[in-house]
Amino acid sequence: MSAPLLSLRDVHKVFGDGDTATVAANGVDLDIHPGEIVGLVGESGSGKSTIANIVLGLVRPDAGTVTFDGVRLSDHLARNERAFRRQVQAVFQQPLLALDQRRRIGWSIAEPLVIHRIGTAEERRSRVVELLRAVGLSPDLADRLPRELSGGQLQRVNIARALTLEPRLLVCDEAVSALDVSVQAQVLDLFLEMQDRLGIAMLFISHNMAVVRHISDSVVVMYHGDVVESGPTDQVCDAPASPYARQLIGSWLEPVVDTLPESHE
């Protein structure tokens, strides 16, 4: 197998101290290979967003190593943060909050190109059209304001914006959780299409096992900062090794499993 694109080894993070300390990551190991979608699942408060923020360089781990493309994350950030940010993009839960409300959609999608000084105004305009089409939206939406779009359309805009710089890794933290179930399935399929067409790797975080099962090549299960299970998706979902993971997975799958279309595998 190829070398991992992202590796976490024995990553620790504690928030607060003494009686109020919370162990958000307790020796987390996680690998994502190029083009792979790794699902990170766990109940609320299990440490998923902490891992997302550590990978994005927004939270510093107390101990352990994070490497991206064979280089330590701290070295990426110290030497060339801009180059790192180009390669690792994020999509979060609230599609409307992620966009500047006063700016037109086309402006928001082109903004990363402006920040990174890529292309002429003309080239940026045609890239916006291309990206809107790629995420299944009409290029006419470029002239609209965020409040004129539905939640599903807005999340597609956020995905287009995240794709603008052709990242190698997308960190998706509850990226479909705020969407209606029918729209969730469409947006999940868009992520799968982006993996297939562009070879983008993803850390796909959700508290919903059915969502993670639908999209992921492999799954990591967290509980109170610990990784309690990890492996290929079918193995983790169908034959989890630890009794605890079995219990969690069983309780998560049942209520929602019928609401998503069949996996594409």
3-state secondary structure of 47: coil
- Residue 181 beta carbon to ligand ADP: minimum distance, rounded to whole angstroms: 20
Q: From the CB of 93, what's the least distance to ligand ADP, in Å?
A: 10
Q: Which stretch binds Mg ion (CB under 5 A): 43-51, 59-67, 152-160, 247-255?
A: 43-51
Residue 15 touches which of Mg ion, ligand ADP, none (CB < 5 to 8 A by kind)?
ligand ADP
Calpha distance 114→221 (Å, rounded): 38
User: Which residues in the 57-86 window bind Mg ion by CB under 5 A?
Assistant: none
Give the nearer residue to ligand ADP in terms of CB position, either 146 or 225.
225
Residue 109 or 212: the one with the smaller Cβ distance to Mg ion is: 212
**What is the closest distance, in whole angstroms, from the C-beta atom of residue 38 to ligand ADP in the complex?**
15
Pick the closest to residue 200 from 160, 234, 233, 229 (CA basis).
160
Residue 142 C-beta: closest distance to ligand ADP, Å: 33
Residue 243 corresponds to which tokens in the numbers above?
A: 């009794």
Contact 12, 62 (CB under 8 A): yes
The window from 5-13, 49-57, 98-106, 225-233 that contacts Mg ion (CB under 5 A) reads 49-57
- For ligand ADP, give the closer residue by CB, 95 or 146: 95
- The whole-angstrom separation of Cα 92 and Cα 75 is 25
Could you give the CA distance from residue 57 to residue 46 in angstroms, rounded to a whole number?
19
Minimum gap (Å) between residue 202 Cβ and Mg ion: 16
Binding of residue 53 to Mg ion (CB under 5 A): no
Min CB(237)–Mg ion separation in Å: 21
Question: Reading across the β-sheet that carries 88-91, which strands appear in turn?
Answer: 88-91, 169-173, 201-206, 37-41, 218-223, 226-232
Q: Does 208 bind Mg ion (CB under 5 A)?
A: no
Of the candidates 200, 194, 252, the one whose C-alpha atom is nearest the C-alpha of residue 46 is 252
Measured from the CB atom, the residue of 8 and 194 that comes closer to ligand ADP is 8
Q: Which is nearer to ligand ADP, 49 or 89 (CB)?
A: 49
Q: Which does 106 bind (CB under 5 to 8 A by kind): Mg ion, ligand ADP, none?
A: none
Q: Which residue has the tokens 């409300």?
A: 101
Name residue, tokens 């909050």: 97
Cα(217)–Cα(199) distance, integer angstroms: 13
Residue 62 CB neighbour total at 10 angstroms = 13
Can you tell me the distance from the alpha carbon of 28 to that of 45, in angstroms, rounded to the nearest whole number?
15
- Confirm or reject binding of residue 49 to Mg ion (CB under 5 A): yes
State the nearest-atom distance from the C-beta of 128 to ligand ADP, in Å: 32
Between residues 157 and 219, which has the closer beta carbon with respect to ligand ADP? 219
Q: Is 230 left (phi over 0), alpha (psi -120 to 50) or beta?
A: beta
Instruction: Please state, as a whole number, how many other Cβ atoms lie within 10 Å of the Cβ of residue 190.
Output: 19
Per partner kind, with CB cut-offs from 5 to 8 A, the member of ligand ADP, Mg ion, none near residue 120 is: none
Q: Interface with Mg ion by CB under 5 A: which residues?
A: 48-49
